[in-house]
Structure 1
Amino acid sequence: MLKIKHEPKQLVDVTAVPALLTILFTYLFGGALGGSPRHYLTVLVPGTMVMGVTIVTMYGGARLADDLSTGVFDRFRSLAVWRGAFVVGGLVADIGRYLLAAGIVATLGVAIGYRPGGGVPGVLAAVALVVAFGVSLSWVWTVVALVILDSATVMSLASVVVFPLTFASNVFVPARTMPGWLQAFVDANPVSHLASASRALMNNTGGAGGPVIWSLVATGAITVVFAPLALRLYSKRG
């Protein structure tokens, strides 16, 4: 958090990406896909919240790789504290970044005409679900950073995973509009379940139970696999 205070430019990604996604896709696709930008917001705002937070997660791994390459973590490891604290602390700080990204999407959405049927409780529930998924993905990029130690390579590998997951999902359009072979992937994609759960919660349309459960299962499974692996890799360094 002190790093962000002294280097505010670190917040450029978490502010610019969600804002651009929300504004650009609303006015580029809103008329064609939803009849009007205002009507399309009920589909797009929950979707861009998911997409924005998912994309922002990879920057945490890149920053960790930078810190590891400078040697500052060698100094941390000499201190009389739990070694994993520095990895976990970075992820806790990232929660604040994800909340900021989600808040920007929700605020912009309301400013340009979105009215969530689920009210404040529905929006908060969706934000909590999206942020939890974002934290689980952060563990993946932490593992990648600990193995590769190069921020540019971490970003490249993360982009190869994140962009197909977010664009080949129901973030922008329903899966039924896609070719059959693609529908199978979209229906199994955890980002699709997360987007469906966020829409149901924010718009209060019902049927949130199934997508919420699948999102929580995916979040838990990713965390259970990659969190212990990340801590083990860090504890074995040098």
Structure 2
Amino acid sequence: MTATMTKPQVAGGDGQARGALARSVRDSLVVARRNLVRMLRIPEVVIFGIIQPVMFVLLFAYVFGGAISIPGAAAADRSAYREFMMAGVFAQTVTFATAGASAGIADDMHKGLIDRFRALPMARGAVLTGRTLADLVQSAVTVLVLMGCALVVGWRIHEGLPKALAAFGLLLLLGYGFSWIGALIGLSVRTPEAATSAGLVWLFPLTFMSNAFVPTNNMPTVVRHIADWNPFSTTVQASRELFGNQFQPVASDAWPMQHPVLASLLWSLLITVVFRTLAVRKYRSATV
């Protein structure tokens, strides 16, 4: 009787793909941990990142809020604007983290750290993915603190905890997509100072030409159409609906305003995919 020997099967393309994905995830988490430890060692970055949105809440709630009327809300209801504005402040907070991502990556480029990372046997996109994941964690902490401040000034959730968690998920997903824009900017400029300016200069018109702080019904027609299709406006509108901070049906017939939750999800995924692809491609060829 002859014994038949069978050779062990060699993992094919699927096994190699799973191995590469596992390595990419592991490397990304290592880089994310490195950036989180760095944030803990420089707590001023986190502290000032929290102070700025808190100041926005207090300014809009107590300075500007009395001069802005909300459609569908009673004129004497001062809490109406505070509920209306909070989705905008949350969205502004997670998107303004883009400037920090830009400056951080530009600083790593300036110090030559990116070149050292590229010399290591690690997944190509892990450095940027780890950085954006760390920024996402920081944004989540900031939003949590900001939520406490919002409750103090009169903001409330009216649609239950599951929908509120979905709203925060959409907000953080938008912030994560924007952090990839920040990564691309950080790889494209020469100094951290330039990255900070480049990371903010386009955010101000994006956030203020929206429904974040004022209703769009009184805007000029062209500006109103831009605001209705703005991905920032879409996420703000979705958050208002999920929080239950909407006082009357939206007057706009634009598709993103009529289906804000789905539109917000699509916008955020599209921004993430497009700018992650561009940022990783830039990372492979970037030089100081």
Q: Fold match, TM over 0.5?
A: yes
**Partner amino acid, structure 2, of 1:65:** A
Instruction: For residue 115 of structure 1, give the secondary structure of its aligned residue in structure 2.
Output: coil
Percent of residue pairs identical: 33
Q: How far apart in 2 are the matches of 1:72 and 1:154?
A: 16
Which one of the candidate residues 153, 159, 169 is aligned to 2:200? 159
Structure 1 unaligned spans of 5+: none
Which deviations, in whole Å up to 9, do the C-alpha atoms of 1:201-227 show, x marking residues without a partner? 011758887011111121122122111
Residue matched to 2:62: 27
Q: Does 1:138 align with 2:182?
A: no
Q: How far apart in 2 are the matches of 1:36 and 1:4?
A: 41
TM-score calculated relative to the size of structure 1: 0.92
Q: How far apart in 1 are the matches of 2:244 and 2:52?
A: 23
Which one of the candidate residues 275, 283, 287 is aligned to 1:226? 275
Q: How far apart in 2 are the matches of 1:73 and 1:94?
A: 17
Task: Trace 1:78-157 onto structure 2 (pairs within 5 A).
Answer: 78-157=119-198
Aligned length: 238
Structure 2 unaligned spans of 5+: 1-35, 70-75, 251-256
- The structure whose residues are more often helix, as a share, is 1
Q: How far apart in 1 are the matches of 2:103 and 2:78?
A: 35
Instruction: For residue 154 of structure 1, give the secondary structure of its aligned residue in structure 2.
Output: helix
How far the C-alpha of 1:103 sits from its partner, in A, is: 1.4
Q: How far apart in 2 are the matches of 1:77 and 1:130?
A: 32
Which one of the candidate residues 15, 40, 58 is aligned to 2:50? 15
Which one of the candidate residues 217, 221, 226 is aligned to 1:176? 217
Q: How far apart in 2 are the matches of 1:38 and 1:221?
A: 35
Residue matched to 1:213: 262
Residue matched to 2:37: 2
Which is greater in Rg? 2
How far the C-alpha of 1:54 sits from its partner, in A, is: 1.3
Q: How far apart in 2 are the matches of 1:5 and 1:102?
A: 17
Q: How far apart in 2 are the matches of 1:177 and 1:139?
A: 33
Instruction: For residue 118 of structure 1, give the secondary structure of its aligned residue in structure 2.
Output: coil
Q: How far apart in 1 are the matches of 2:258 and 2:146?
A: 23
**Partner amino acid, structure 1, of 2:54:** A
4+ long deviations beyond 6 Å: 206-209
Instruction: For residue 143 of structure 1, give the secondary structure of its aligned residue in structure 2.
Output: helix
Which one of the candidate residues 242, 249, 254 is aligned to 1:201? 242
The root-mean-square deviation of aligned C-alpha atoms, in Å, is: 1.9
Which one of the candidate residues 178, 182, 189 is aligned to 2:230? 189
Q: How far apart in 2 are the matches of 1:98 and 1:111?
A: 20
**In the alignment, is the contact (CA less than 8 A) between 1:18 and 1:104 conserved in 2?**
no
**In the alignment, is the contact (CA less than 8 A) between 2:216 and 2:224 conserved in 1?**
yes
User: After alignment, is 228-237 or 128-137 more displaced?
Assistant: 228-237
**In the alignment, is the contact (CA less than 8 A) between 2:83 and 2:154 conserved in 1?**
no
User: After alignment, is 161-170 or 102-111 more displaced?
Assistant: 102-111
